[in-house]
Structure 1
Amino acid sequence: MTITTPPSTLTVSFEDDPRVVREAATEDYSTHVVPTSWRAGRWSLAMAWWAMFSAMFWLYVAVASADAVGAPATIAGMVLSIATYGVVNLVLSRYAARTGLTVALLSRRLFGTLGSALAPLIFAATALYYGVFEGSIVAVALQGYFGGNLKIWYLVAVAYALPLVIGGVRAWLDKLNGVLLPFYVLGLIAVVIAATVKQGYPQVWLHSVASQAPLPGWLTSYLIYMGVWIMMMYTVDYARLGRPQDTRFHGTVTFGWVFYTFTFGVNGLIGIYLLRAWEISGSETGVVDAVIRSLGFAGVLLIFVSQTRINTANYYLASTNLEAFAARVLRLRLPRAVWVGVAGAIAYLLMLTDVLGYLLKALAWQGVFVTAWVAIALVHIAVSPADRDGLPEFRTGRLVPLTAGAAAWLAASAAGIVLTEQGANAALAQLAPLITVVLAAGLYYAALRFAPSAVRVRGGDPRDEVEDVWRARILCHVCDRSYVAVEMDRDPSANGAAICSACAADSAALARAVR
């Protein structure tokens, strides 16, 4: 609607709202743009993110690849994956630091206000599944060494991790993971030495025989690593907390090729070495057995440290995206601490089921949506001038409910799932992630070129009424909090009063007035 009366005057300040800062200590601006004043220091963010380095999953996935295609082909796939992840996360981390957007907020621009709801749900579900996997590793290690009921150890693995993730990245997770990182590194060195002393050097650990496969071994290995492109989404939600002046460091070291050289390369080679030294098959618990056989109780401590680090990231991202999904779809606003508890409860219930029986299938389906999302995000950043050079439009009142981009995402994902599930051609099933990426990129590019714009043309933009959209804070008439002007809009259902991004997403009156 057109506002015919003079709009309400903006209440502008240039200091952070103390109430918002107190909430940010746990919320980390989960449903808001992160102001530059809340960005983490270079090493603070690096230590928080490098929690990802210590997942036992990286040892396991390398062994699974080596069992399938042999160690040489696995190493080739690792190198290609490190290069790919390095380039993609360089782009995504710089974009996230420049805009301060979460996956949920960026998805609004890509898919519309309604179409974007699926992205945080898939993100939260995937983070939860990885949390279940890593938590199960802890439980199996504790039961294997101490005995007892595995269900009780599952509960222990979940319960001790939850309090650790209630604090935000800058307030707590950086410090916790910074302290634990040296213990994990020393533990990796110790486990390799101990395995060699006890078992001798496995002469053929890099020459394992590959089974027959429909695709070249290096390509199969590369596609296996494509299954964890969820790391790209993880990158966005962490990198938004980085300072713009640190983007070069974060793009190379924190989120880029340096990180993946250690995460995929070092972890992967150690995993292959350990299991070949102990002659253990590459099962889900094979890495646990090898570590405990090598170090005994110290191995249990190593697993405890490694899984504590990685699950701080898994539960943190699961809770923030559950919060974003509930706020957008259910219009339910609860503190993130509540969503941490919800994430933990869901994780424990999943552990009580035959989770490994359907975990890989669930991750395969979700992985299709994730790879399509990454392809679409990259195309958008590359070819959308406003997002590349200026500020993206993510405010609810200035976007259509569904974009052609949402149709592109769903169509590419549906094609990927069909290819994954069809049993007639094994090569096509394995190539599903790559085909999905190409389809998603092509369809989204076509949507940008030929479909109507996703942005509504409206006047009265608070961004045009302040000199510096990152310094100015504007008071929201709904929640009575001041947020950075980048995310603020005028509410046509309230005489143009200022409204923050989160409150605008909840307002049915605003949506009606805009229509």
Structure 2
Amino acid sequence: MTTSSKGRAPTSASADAAGLAATPGQLPVHDENDYARSRVPDSAKRGAGAILSVLVGFVTAFFFPLIGGLYLTQNGAAATWLGLIISFSVLIVLALIVSRTAAREGLTSELLTRGSGLGSVGSVLTTVIYAGTFVVYAGTEGQILASSIDLIWDLPDQIWYVVVGLVFLPMAWNGISAMTKILTWTVPVYFLLLVVAICIAWNRNDGMPSGMFTAMPEGAVGGVAGTVAVIAGLAGTVGINPFEAADYNRFIHAGQFRRKAAVTVVLPYVLLFFVAIPLGMYFTLITGSFTPSIYFVGLLGLLPGVALAWVSQIRVNLTNLHISSVTFTSGSEALGAHRLGRRLWLLFVTAASIALMWFDVLGNLSVFLEWTGIFLLAWVACVVADITVVRGRLKIVTGPVEYRSSHLRRYNAVGVTALLTGTTVASLVWLFATDPVLRGLSAYIGFVVAFAVHVTMAVVTKGRTYFADPLDARLAVNQARAAG
């Protein structure tokens, strides 16, 4: 059922996807785009185990042990732990809010953003940054993988970049169905090699490193400044992961989300913040290096160390490629490019990740990730403000989140103004603040500004910029008029 000219909302969050559902006795219909342009129908919903297996894929990235060792070296153990606890707490709150809505609506983060205050074309800006960030991650992880295989077979780096980029194509071609199987099969191999490395390091050190909670390397900052430095470094992770979690939790049945959220939202980030990152601290204290590709080869030997790198990077890069291709597919629809499906975007993303490797994305990552943290936190502030205040507390807009371009304004002043204001204010603080603590908190300052501006704009405009039809019945102002 579609929205009528009088603005009636659909009676069900999945009504417009009903035609995709399987009839009794049939297998669910597979959408090669993984429902990047529509709601996920009930027939395509999955169990918590399938979602967990995919989300745990990014936890195995070498990137996280690397930053664990790096934060320890730069800021000390105590500041690193405190920064992890604060960042984890903020991330979980944001991820639960956005993922719960995604499960209820069955929408990707891009489609959810359209109806949450940015409009059908206004959301394309967030699409480019969000999907582009995962392309950068894919190039970064691919470059790490290429450097590890080069230890066994010395070929020009550019050859390995192409090989590494192309090896993921057949694995990601069929979307989440095939990915779930691959990621599940690689779990035992990954954890076996990781446990062996942990045990070897443990024996070599005669137990747990004494400085896991107290180490203060020479030159480390420590204290409040050190804690803020860790929080600043994790701003991008806190900003992007609520949307990544939502993109997979849309496959969870809405009625089951509350009891499954501990597995599909909380557990992956517990493993990330309190296992993967601290493991980097553990290995750094024992080996003296914070680079996983170096210390894993030193602990396991050449072939097992490279094998661990491959298993790890296959798991994380599949999620990078899948999320970016799905997001570009959703965004292209808003611009009228309906023929650009997920598989075509997957080819584009693969080519882009290879190009980034050629231009040494790994060596130029820091500045990009710092600024994207500012943008991503401003974006999640807009969506969370819309879910919790505009729709939740104030009920300025009601009913299922509208995602269809024909039913939305191209640009919604509410979210676009909030996003640009929050990003601009945070960027100015980041660029010009001389106090390192203030500069480190710039992304969170932008979050607060974007949240406040989004709510203020929605109140001032009374939601009139949300829908193409100014008389849409989902607007509280029109409901009040009808009641009067």
Q: Give the TM bin, normalised by the shorter chain.
A: 0.7 to 0.9
Could you give the per-residue CA deviations for residues 312-370 of structure 1, whole angstroms, max 9, x where no partner exists? Answer: 10000111122223332362522321211110100000101132343221222222111
| 1:272 alignment partner in structure 2 | 281
Once residues 427 and 72 of structure 1 are traced to their aligned partners in structure 2, the CA distance between those partners, rounded to angstroms, is 17
| 1:400 alignment partner in structure 2 | 409
Q: Which range moved further: 212-221 or 431-440?
A: 212-221
2:359 to 353, 360, 364: 353
Across the two proteins, how many residue pairs are aligned to each other? 449
Could you give the per-residue CA deviations for residues 262-296 of structure 1, whole angstroms, max 9, x where no partner exists? Answer: 1111112211111221112x3xxx11101111111
Unpaired runs of at least 5, structure 1: 5-10, 464-515
Q: Which range moved further: 113-122 or 247-256?
A: 247-256
SS at match of 1:145: coil
Deviation, structure 1 residue 188? 1.8
CA RMSD of aligned residues (A): 2.9
2:372 to 337, 361, 366: 366
Once residues 53 and 12 of structure 1 are traced to their aligned partners in structure 2, the CA distance between those partners, rounded to angstroms, is 34
Once residues 260 and 244 of structure 1 are traced to their aligned partners in structure 2, the CA distance between those partners, rounded to angstroms, is 21
Once residues 74 and 445 of structure 2 are traced to their aligned partners in structure 1, the CA distance between those partners, rounded to angstroms, is 21
Could you give the per-residue CA deviations for residues 43-75 of structure 1, whole angstroms, max 9, x where no partner exists? Answer: 122212221221111111212211221012211
| 1:422 alignment partner in structure 2 | 432
Once residues 334 and 151 of structure 2 are traced to their aligned partners in structure 1, the CA distance between those partners, rounded to angstroms, is 43
Correspondence 1:44-443 to 2 at 5 A: 44-109=50-115, 110-169=117-176, 171-198=177-204, 200-201=206-207, 202-209=209-216, 211-212=220-221, 215-228=224-237, 229-256=239-266, 258-280=267-289, 282=290, 286-296=291-301, 297-329=303-335, 331-383=337-389, 384-385=391-392, 390-403=399-412, 404-422=414-432, 424-443=434-453
Note if 1:455 corresponds to 2:459: no
User: Could you tell me whether the CA contact under 8 Å between 1:120 and 1:321 is conserved in 2?
Assistant: yes
Deviation, structure 1 residue 217? 2.8
Once residues 459 and 427 of structure 1 are traced to their aligned partners in structure 2, the CA distance between those partners, rounded to angstroms, is 45
User: Aligned AA for 1:242?
Assistant: I
Deviation, structure 1 residue 245? 3.0
Q: Which range moved further: 316-325 or 210-219?
A: 210-219
Correspondence 1:429-508 to 2 at 5 A: 429-453=439-463, 454-456=465-467, 458=469
User: Could you tell me whether the CA contact under 8 Å between 2:64 and 2:272 is conserved in 1?
Assistant: yes
Once residues 67 and 139 of structure 1 are traced to their aligned partners in structure 2, the CA distance between those partners, rounded to angstroms, is 26
Unpaired runs of at least 5, structure 2: 7-14, 475-484
Once residues 315 and 110 of structure 2 are traced to their aligned partners in structure 1, the CA distance between those partners, rounded to angstroms, is 24
Deviation, structure 1 residue 3? 7.9
Q: Which range moved further: 266-275 or 145-154?
A: 145-154
Once residues 100 and 214 of structure 1 are traced to their aligned partners in structure 2, the CA distance between those partners, rounded to angstroms, is 43
User: Could you tell me whether the CA contact under 8 Å between 2:79 and 2:226 is conserved in 1?
Assistant: yes
Q: Name the % identity.
A: 26
Q: Which range moved further: 121-130 or 47-56?
A: 47-56
SS at match of 1:144: coil
1:16 to 14, 20, 31: 20
CA change 1:82–1:305 in 2 (3 A) is same
SS at match of 1:114: coil
SS at match of 2:410: coil
User: Could you tell me whether the CA contact under 8 Å between 1:381 and 1:387 is conserved in 2?
Assistant: no
Could you give the per-residue CA deviations for residues 431-474 of structure 1, whole angstroms, max 9, x where no partner exists? Answer: 111101111111111111112422337499999xxxxxxxxxxx
User: Could you tell me whether the CA contact under 8 Å between 1:58 and 1:267 is conserved in 2?
Assistant: yes
Deviation, structure 1 residue 214? 8.6
User: Could you tell me whether the CA contact under 8 Å between 2:106 and 2:251 is conserved in 1?
Assistant: yes
User: Aligned AA for 2:295?
Assistant: A
Deviation, structure 1 residue 13? 10
Deviation, structure 1 residue 311? 0.6
CA change 1:220–1:199 in 2 (3 A) is same
Once residues 181 and 12 of structure 1 are traced to their aligned partners in structure 2, the CA distance between those partners, rounded to angstroms, is 37
User: Could you tell me whether the CA contact under 8 Å between 2:231 and 2:440 is conserved in 1?
Assistant: no
User: Aligned AA for 1:292?
Assistant: V
User: Aligned AA for 2:180?
Assistant: D
Once residues 371 and 194 of structure 2 are traced to their aligned partners in structure 1, the CA distance between those partners, rounded to angstroms, is 32
Once residues 159 and 184 of structure 1 are traced to their aligned partners in structure 2, the CA distance between those partners, rounded to angstroms, is 22
CA change 1:299–1:462 in 2 (3 A) is farther
Deviation, structure 1 residue 200? 4.8
Once residues 196 and 456 of structure 1 are traced to their aligned partners in structure 2, the CA distance between those partners, rounded to angstroms, is 60
User: Could you tell me whether the CA contact under 8 Å between 2:121 and 2:411 is conserved in 1?
Assistant: yes
User: Could you tell me whether the CA contact under 8 Å between 2:36 and 2:108 is conserved in 1?
Assistant: yes
User: Aligned AA for 1:120?
Assistant: T
TM-score normalized by the length of structure 2: 0.85
Once residues 22 and 158 of structure 1 are traced to their aligned partners in structure 2, the CA distance between those partners, rounded to angstroms, is 31
User: Aligned AA for 1:264?
Assistant: F
SS at match of 1:227: helix
Q: Which range moved further: 142-151 or 57-66?
A: 142-151
SS at match of 2:120: helix
User: Could you tell me whether the CA contact under 8 Å between 1:131 and 1:347 is conserved in 2?
Assistant: yes
SS at match of 2:69: helix
Could you give the per-residue CA deviations for residues 126-148 of structure 1, whole angstroms, max 9, x where no partner exists? Answer: 01111111111111111123332
Deviation, structure 1 residue 195? 2.3
